[in-house]
Amino acid sequence: MSSGVDSSTTAALLAKKYPGQVHGIYMCNWTATARCTEDEWNDVKEVSKVIGIPCHRVNLEKEYWTKVFEPMIDMYKNGLTPNPDVGCNRHIKFGALLQWASDHQKRLTGSPEGTKWWLATGHYARVGIPAARDGTNLEAKSNIHHLLRPKDLSKDQSYYLSTVLPESLNRVLFPLAAYTKPQIRQIAVDLDLPTASKPDSQGLCFVSQDHGHFKDFLEEYVVPTPGDIVTEDGKVVGKHQGLWQATIGQRSGVSMPQGDPECRGVWYVSDKRTAENQIVIVRGRDHPSIFRTTAQCSKFRWLGSDISLDDLSSIRVQFRSLQDQGLSVSDITVKNGIPGSSAVTDISVQFSEPARAVAPGQYLVLYQRDRVLGSGMIDFTR
CATH number at residue 280: 2.30.30.280
> 30-34, 73-77, 246-250, 323-327: which has the minimum mean pLDDT?
30-34
Q: Is the pLDDT of residue 211 over 70?
A: no
pLDDT in tens, 311-343: 999 999 999 998 887 999 999 999 988 998 888
Q: Is residue 322 part of a domain?
A: yes
pLDDT in tens, 217-233: 888 899 999 999 999 99
For residue 3, what pLDDT band results from cuts at 50, 70 and 90? very high
Whether residue 49 sits in one domain with residue 167: yes
Q: What is the mean pLDDT of residues 349-354?
A: 97
Residues annotated as catalytic are: 88, 205
CATH number of the domain encompassing residue 77: 3.40.50.620
State the average pLDDT for the chain: 91
Q: Is residue 147 part of a domain?
A: no
Q: Is residue 219 part of a domain?
A: no
The pLDDT value recorded for residue 130 is: 53
d(CA 185, CA 200): 11
Domain final position from 285, 301, 327: 285
Whether residue 295 sits in one domain with residue 278: no
User: How many domains would you assign to the chain?
Assistant: 3
The pLDDT value recorded for residue 136 is: 47
Domain final position from 262, 285, 308: 285
Whether residue 118 sits in one domain with residue 185: yes
Tell me the percentage of the chain whose pLDDT exceeds 90: 77
Tell me the percentage of the chain whose pLDDT exceeds 70: 92
Whether residue 91 sits in one domain with residue 234: no
Q: Is residue 140 part of a domain?
A: no
Residue-number span of the structural domain to which 82 is assigned: 5-123+160-210
pLDDT in tens, 159-190: 999 999 988 998 999 999 999 999 999 999 99
Q: Is residue 325 part of a domain?
A: yes
Instruction: Tell me the pTM.
Output: 0.92
Q: Is residue 146 part of a domain?
A: no
